[in-house]
Structure 1
């Protein structure tokens, strides 16, 4: 069996987990019951043994995918020489649709014949625990039951499926107007008739349409422009990656999709990175999602409170706040297009990443600007964090990109420590809460002096990746965004030019850095960094250039508006875990930066009319 291009997948989910559905009609990735749980289908990492759920024409066919407008309901259109069919995939939203007797974790697959006649092959091959557990598949009343690893998956089927003990197969022929339903339920065996399944589809569709951004006045919409639909798609992707109860966001729903085909840069991203916080808060607030902003505020404070004496114990957490599993390699899986190792867990959780403090405090500061009030109890926790930053800011660390080489004095990390102290001083002034103002101001000034002295290269005319090197790094594009220097400062303009000269492709795609990171092979341009260049250009007043670059980067989205972590610099194909929260956060925030007359550094308080006419 062949590997599909990463960009040939769509994603569906229920705010607890996600599944990837290929344009060939195959579910090739689904972890249960949660995003970070072991997989039941992992064909994207190993088509032979990983497991899949395929519904596809028996004859040669062409296909294309699209989402039902403003939803995460995915349609795959299949066409043969004899007929057409539409495969509709979705998951009911956990906690939102409990009127029917069905499992919390269920994948619905409706097949509807549009024209002529079409014969479809069905193959259900679950493989529990990343295909490590022995899985038994047997025919039962109304479908098939898969068991293994003390788990079960029941698939309701409109046609009898034959089983060989591990896989169920069958064939069904549909004529014009025929509609059938397949329903996979994890841990339960509820039975639904066609009308009940159709009602679930309608309820799911209405949930997403009711949640998604809606313009009442396009001329006042901050996101109005040719990219408007891509902004909405990105918003819907972010919601899919959020845990329902906390709004904590997984960086991606997948593991080990490679940054380079055949290489070792294959990581597990199914966790909640703290540094995503500030980006998430800004993006979702501007789209009118106050509840998610408030939930994220509480989640950020919870992570702070877990630290000892203000220390953030780890740069990312399980999406439910649980402890991280150890990094492990799954040698029995060959990896996407033979890219190994396949990893679960992420060893970077043990790294010191000082920029996290800045991102965390920025998120809290931005949230207080939007809606939340910082209580005195929370301020006490935050004050301990800033005191800790004052003690450790000059220590070496691993940086935002989680290098697997010796720690360094990364310039971006130092600037984010500066930003943490700077925003804490702002909040102290606004609240009159007790704080060692003089001490904090002195440390902030010391960080600034050292960054300007050791982190700026006069000969290059640019800030550098670290105090120890003279390489440039795309994270430096964030310096004007966090207010370290004015956007039109010559040192910022020189850094923008250095990034364009050393890290950008002719198409405007931007690499993260151009130096050794302790790993074999090379990576590809990083989508978020491309959007950061857009932001820096816009802040520097180069609006036309920023808009042109933004439009060029958007051309690399998949046909249904999704982005992975990276884009292959030669082929334009998606690379890395998919879809990637960072990429879609960047897309949304850059839309704010390129909007005419917008100042993305000035939040609109909730309760005041937002630019799109909502509040």
Structure 2
């Protein structure tokens, strides 16, 4: 392996604790273990020579490949097609229960012809920093290393051959033949001979699990296949043990090829919380919503140095995600630095209080009410915010060019107090509420006075700015302003003029020094769907539908999106990104109701 593949040429499989990226050429090029935020075992995505991979390829002349999911599952098929033969690889990870061992299962079959395959399994532990040895134990190959990660075992129904401390060999299958490969954490059963019948049963159980899960969705509207795929992807990103969701399963994939905007997204951003709850409730997945609500509950009992909440957390809810660089890896298409960890955990981003309270409000509105202790903790948090909402902060885009009074942060501070007042009224919670209402109204007046530019006829990105920001698109969705208010319509027009190109939407205009980073970036896919929903809410339904359906065409071959799209529509940034698929679900459900005439008739 010598070349990088396009980011969009990958699918994903997972077991609700971690996830692997599988290329259209049959290579597993990215895999962290045992959890999403653990060190890598395979990272050829970031360095084809040093990162490690597990590749099975059919040697077929003039062949093409196709990749697809079995309908309504996260079971992935990669097909090799030529006149000489047809072969396919079925990849899946059994969903874990309790102390089950994490495993990648690969089923190789020939449909037509007599096909030779090349197999290479070359793990590289701890981000490629820790050497390993390999040895046979019966037919199993055991990979041993001196690190916190467990040893791994490769087992097969074929005889495996060592190539130094890796496995590399060729094998042939004819039509009707099947070979199985299992790459797993070492355990008592991992070294035993494989049972094809048992593996077929696991395949069926895994397929049934996903079909049964997505079958609970109550969404029956337009674009159902894409909405379901987004739901299935989000489920893959939710940790089964903790209920938290990672922003993306990868790190250091660049927002610009060769650039330095290469971040680690394998953590849970509090900002995603209300979007996750809204999407899961909208689709009817009450269990996931309740589980995430419990994770949110545990965040109420901790104060960070920046305030009662912090921007992001590890999957298990612990707080520190120190940012370092991996100098041993090339980086995707030589984009450096290769960062792990994320320094944003130490930033001040005041918008998170609004997103947090919005999620608490949604959970209490549609699920169980707050406990007395939780409500007291919410009030304690709001007391802190009442004294701090007027600070400059680092903002939703986590800029590193200095703090400013960002409109989106101010808006979400308003949301925090608005939702608390609404929650108190709906659930008969203890007051007093006068100070919350006064603070809410003070913030609203500040927004209308200091963030409205009369010359531009638009709300602006930050106090004193002459530019807009795509995060402003959330103003009507957060119920701060009517989507038909003249001030909003002129703001939407300004965003359209300055930040959009057809269906592409950019976060903000790049001005050197503003965000403290060099280089540009692509259009932000979540913002594309925010813009579409904003159009629909403002009664530009026909245009919203056209842009939405065009935007669906920019997904990869499996219906997955990365964080951004480049100038040639190539996928950029970490992949696949939860926020994009959350925004897709929100836009699809609103637009479908609007087109069907089943949406709310009045603005609430």
Cα displacement string for residues 557-610 of structure 1 (whole angstroms, at most 9, x for unaligned residues): 011100000111x2111111011000111111111110133448999xxxxxxx
For these two proteins, the number of residue pairs brought into alignment is: 590
- Superposed displacement of residue 223, structure 1: 4.7
The answer as to whether partners of 2:109 and 2:178 remain within 8 angstroms in 1 is yes
Q: Secondary structure at the match of 2:504?
A: coil
Residue of structure 2 aligned with 1:121, choices 118, 123, 137: 118
Which sits farther off after the overlay, 301-310 or 290-299?
A: 301-310
* C-alpha distance in structure 2 between counterparts of 1:329 and 1:117, whole Å: 46
1:385-424 alignment runs, 5 A limit: 385-424=381-420
Cα displacement string for residues 187-228 of structure 1 (whole angstroms, at most 9, x for unaligned residues): 32253310001100000000000000457xxxxx65512x21
Residue in structure 2 matched with residue 512 of structure 1 by the alignment: 507
Residue of structure 1 aligned with 2:586, choices 573, 576, 589: 589
- Superposed displacement of residue 430, structure 1: 2.2
Cα displacement string for residues 29-78 of structure 1 (whole angstroms, at most 9, x for unaligned residues): 00000010000000000000100000002344311100000000000011
Residue in structure 1 matched with residue 25 of structure 2 by the alignment: 24
Does 1:530 pair with 2:525?
no
Residue of structure 1 aligned with 2:129, choices 124, 128, 132: 132
1:127-276 alignment runs, 5 A limit: 127-150=124-147, 151-188=150-187, 189-191=190-192, 192-213=194-215, 222-225=219-222, 227-276=223-272
The answer as to whether partners of 2:23 and 2:29 remain within 8 angstroms in 1 is yes
Q: Secondary structure at the match of 1:147?
A: strand
Residue in structure 2 matched with residue 320 of structure 1 by the alignment: 316
* C-alpha distance in structure 2 between counterparts of 1:600 and 1:353, whole Å: 32
* C-alpha distance in structure 2 between counterparts of 1:331 and 1:247, whole Å: 33
TM-score scaled by length of structure 2:
0.95
Cα displacement string for residues 377-400 of structure 1 (whole angstroms, at most 9, x for unaligned residues): 211111111111111100110000
- Superposed displacement of residue 309, structure 1: 11
* C-alpha distance in structure 1 between counterparts of 2:121 and 2:33, whole Å: 16
Residue in structure 1 matched with residue 47 of structure 2 by the alignment: 46
Residue in structure 2 matched with residue 562 of structure 1 by the alignment: 560
Q: Secondary structure at the match of 1:572?
A: coil
Residue in structure 1 matched with residue 56 of structure 2 by the alignment: 55
Cα displacement string for residues 108-145 of structure 1 (whole angstroms, at most 9, x for unaligned residues): 00001100111000001000000000121223312311
* C-alpha distance in structure 2 between counterparts of 1:190 and 1:140, whole Å: 7
The answer as to whether partners of 2:269 and 2:311 remain within 8 angstroms in 1 is yes
Q: Secondary structure at the match of 2:481?
A: coil
* C-alpha distance in structure 2 between counterparts of 1:309 and 1:434, whole Å: 28
Residue in structure 2 matched with residue 306 of structure 1 by the alignment: 302
The answer as to whether partners of 1:408 and 1:468 remain within 8 angstroms in 2 is no
* C-alpha distance in structure 2 between counterparts of 1:329 and 1:309, whole Å: 24
Residue of structure 1 aligned with 2:427, choices 428, 431, 439: 431
Cα displacement string for residues 396-448 of structure 1 (whole angstroms, at most 9, x for unaligned residues): 10000100111110001001000100000111122332223221111111111
Q: Secondary structure at the match of 2:200?
A: helix
* C-alpha distance in structure 2 between counterparts of 1:160 and 1:529, whole Å: 50
TM-score scaled by length of structure 1:
0.93
Which sits farther off after the overlay, 427-436 or 313-322?
A: 427-436
* C-alpha distance in structure 1 between counterparts of 2:552 and 2:205, whole Å: 31
Q: Secondary structure at the match of 1:170?
A: strand
Alignment CA distance shift 1:309-1:146 (3 Å): closer
The answer as to whether partners of 2:461 and 2:468 remain within 8 angstroms in 1 is yes
Residue in structure 1 matched with residue 36 of structure 2 by the alignment: 35
* C-alpha distance in structure 1 between counterparts of 2:185 and 2:597, whole Å: 49
Residue in structure 2 matched with residue 110 of structure 1 by the alignment: 107
Does 1:576 pair with 2:573?
yes
Q: Secondary structure at the match of 1:479?
A: helix
- Superposed displacement of residue 492, structure 1: 1.0
The gaps in structure 2 that reach 5 residues or longer are none
Residue of structure 2 aligned with 1:347, choices 343, 352, 365: 343
Residue in structure 1 matched with residue 547 of structure 2 by the alignment: 549
The answer as to whether partners of 1:248 and 1:319 remain within 8 angstroms in 2 is yes
The gaps in structure 1 that reach 5 residues or longer are 216-220, 604-615
Alignment CA distance shift 1:482-1:146 (3 Å): same
* C-alpha distance in structure 2 between counterparts of 1:165 and 1:152, whole Å: 17
* C-alpha distance in structure 2 between counterparts of 1:541 and 1:593, whole Å: 12
The answer as to whether partners of 1:259 and 1:523 remain within 8 angstroms in 2 is yes
Q: Secondary structure at the match of 2:523?
A: coil
* C-alpha distance in structure 1 between counterparts of 2:564 and 2:240, whole Å: 27
The answer as to whether partners of 2:102 and 2:184 remain within 8 angstroms in 1 is yes
- Superposed displacement of residue 81, structure 1: 4.0
- Superposed displacement of residue 463, structure 1: 0.8
